[in-house]
Amino acid sequence: MKTVLVTGANKGIGLEIARQMAGSGFDITISGRSEQRLREASDILKRNGIEVHLLLMDVGNDASVEAAAKAWSAGGKKLDVLINNAAVAIKGDRSLTVSPFEIFDETIQINSYGPLRVTRAFLPMMNKPGRVIMMSSGGGSMTDPVEGWSPSYCVSKTMLNGLTRHLAYELEKSSIAVNAVCPGWVKTDMGGKGATRSVEKGAETPVWLATEASQLLSGQFFRDKKSIPW
Ligand SMILES: NC(=O)c1ccc[n+]([C@@H]2O[C@H](COP(=O)([O-])OP(=O)(O)OC[C@H]3O[C@@H](n4cnc5c(N)ncnc54)[C@H](OP(=O)(O)O)[C@@H]3O)[C@@H](O)[C@H]2O)c1
180 three-state secondary structure: strand
pLDDT classification of 59: cutoffs 50, 70, 90: very high
H/E segment holding residue 103 = helix 101-108
Give 175-225 pLDDT, tens digit per residue: 999 999 999 999 999 999 999 999 999 999 999 999 999 999 999 999 999
Closest CA to 3 of 111, 125, 112: 125
Instruction: Say whether pLDDT at 138 is over 90.
Output: yes
Q: Which domains are present in the chain? A: 3-228 (3.40.50.720)
Ligand 1 pocket, mutate which of 5, 6, 7, 11 (most atoms under 8 A from CB): 11
Mean pLDDT of the chain: 97
Decide whether any atom of ligand 1 lies within 6 Å of the 183 Cβ.
Answer: yes
Give 2-33 pLDDT, tens digit per residue: 999 999 999 999 999 999 999 898 999 999 99
Tell me the pairing of strands 3-6 and 27-32.
parallel
Closest CA to 147 of 199, 185, 100, 119: 185
Stated pTM of the model? 0.98
Q: Look up 113 and say whether it is catalytic.
A: no
